[in-house]
Structure 1
């Protein structure tokens, strides 16, 4: 019970994790793959692919083999999609998730510093790449703005009838 309270306190103290865990219901399997697909707008095929490739931590199954997702699984899947949308490769995401779901290990009070440190290093490296990409995009945007200003000045100075419209 104390582990559960520690877990819930940790989650409530870190709202940036975007997790609203108010009870252990978040860790109780309750969603089918179709429900998860609808909630995340990811196809069931892609979810199965992610699970099979190890990008998703192992998902609990019923006795008949049907995948049963927890709210924590869905949150983790959304986080993985955010990483993918930022340009992290599936190989990097698989490496990132190699330790499985850290939230569950926190809940069981079994989490050592090593996997957290490893993920932090990976996220810092990824963050640096994103800053570099942003810098490159800013330079391209500056060039586009300069070209737009040139054309606007041209139209205003050389084609006054066009500038009025």
Structure 2
């Protein structure tokens, strides 16, 4: 198993070292392995999890919802370890609720962005028309 220092893990995950320490402090990330005077080191599994956290944050999901979403651990790992699906139902339902609520927020933001894009395109068309009239 290869271990990466925080600077390398930050580069690989796209999350700053400061944010990684913060996520660890608030419990989003489990405490990392430590070596040589307490320096943090991360596994490839840790880094994949960091990338997953980043993807949730990039969609605008709140840290509270991210924490709630990941609280019960990896559903796929539980399925692969022969946990009965009936035991996973509450966790899956919670994740469905979080994602549904978040998707609704993202769809509203997308609509707002589409309106801003349309306005910007209209302005560009106006400016190009003005320039074309000046060159004639």
Q: TM-score range with shorter-chain normalisation?
A: 0.7 to 0.9
CA gap 1:107/1:51 in 2 versus in 1, 3 angstroms: farther
State whether residues 83 and 93 of structure 1, in contact with CA within 8 Å, keep that contact through their aligned partners in structure 2: yes
Unaligned runs of 5+ in 1: 1-28
Q: Number of matched residues?
A: 131
Alpha-carbon deviation of 1:81? 0.5
Q: Which has the higher strand share?
A: 2
The residue aligned with 2:59 is: 86
The residue aligned with 2:135 is: 160
In structure 2, which of residues 105, 108, 113 is the aligned counterpart of residue 132 of structure 1?
A: 108
Q: Distance in 2 between matches of 1:67 and 1:112?
A: 32
The residue aligned with 1:95 is: 68
Larger Rg: 1
CA gap 1:115/1:146 in 2 versus in 1, 3 angstroms: same
State whether residues 59 and 68 of structure 1, in contact with CA within 8 Å, keep that contact through their aligned partners in structure 2: no
Unaligned runs of 5+ in 2: none
Check if 1:31 corresponds to 2:3: yes
State whether residues 10 and 17 of structure 2, in contact with CA within 8 Å, keep that contact through their aligned partners in structure 1: yes
TM-score of the pair, normalised by structure 2: 0.75
CA gap 1:92/1:86 in 2 versus in 1, 3 angstroms: same
Secondary structure at 1:127 match in 2: helix
Q: Deviations over 1:114-164 (max 9, x none)?
A: 21221122112211211111111111111111122122222222x126xxx
Alpha-carbon deviation of 1:78? 0.5
CA gap 1:45/1:151 in 2 versus in 1, 3 angstroms: closer
CA-based RMSD of the aligned residues comes to 2.7
The residue aligned with 1:4 is: none
CA gap 1:53/1:114 in 2 versus in 1, 3 angstroms: same
